[in-house]
Amino acid sequence: MLLAGCGGPPVVDQAVTQTPLAAANVVVTQTGDSDVTIPPGGVTFSLDAARLLVVDVKVRFSAPMPRTVALRATVYDATGRIVGDATGGAIQVVPGSEIGVELSGPAPAGTIAAVTVEVHTVPAPAVHP
């Protein structure tokens, strides 16, 4: 008995070798305004459905008045080379609050080993009823 199949040879998916998004223990450095702090463990990294970098940053706000907060994360590989960045912000951040801010940017060009988060605040716009 002869068995024959139609079409070409079967396609076998090849494993794609990808570097990890981030090292196990990313070093976090904060610069900028001191009325915002990032607690330990307050920075995480992921890729969204479009394969863009998402940096989630938890911030604690200690200014006496509502502020608008702008953040920029610059990410580095283990050799200190910049491999990407992400930006984001929040408005009307109230005194004493702890919030999450989502930053986004292009996919990094290497494994993230360190990040510098630059934080700047300005007075929040007045809210009118």
70 vs 127 pLDDT, higher one: 70
Superfamily of domain 28-122: Immunoglobulins (2.60.40.10)
| pTM passes above 0.75 | yes
Nearest to 109 by CA among 79, 77, 71: 77
Instruction: Name 61's Cβ contacts closer than 8 Å, sequence gap at least 6.
Output: 35, 36, 67, 69, 93, 94, 95, 96, 97, 98, 99
In angstroms, the CA 94 to CA 80 distance is 35
Instruction: Name 118's Cβ contacts closer than 8 Å, sequence gap at least 6.
Output: 30, 31, 32, 71, 72, 73, 74
For residues 21 and 52, the answer to whether their CB atoms sit within 8 Å is: no
In angstroms, the CA 125 to CA 69 distance is 12
Nearest to 97 by CA among 37, 45, 55: 37
What pLDDT is attached to residue 34? 84
Mind listing the pLDDT tens digit for each residue in 22-59?
A: 988 999 999 998 889 999 999 999 999 999 999 999 99
Mind listing the pLDDT tens digit for each residue in 86-123?
A: 999 999 999 999 999 999 999 999 999 999 999 999 98
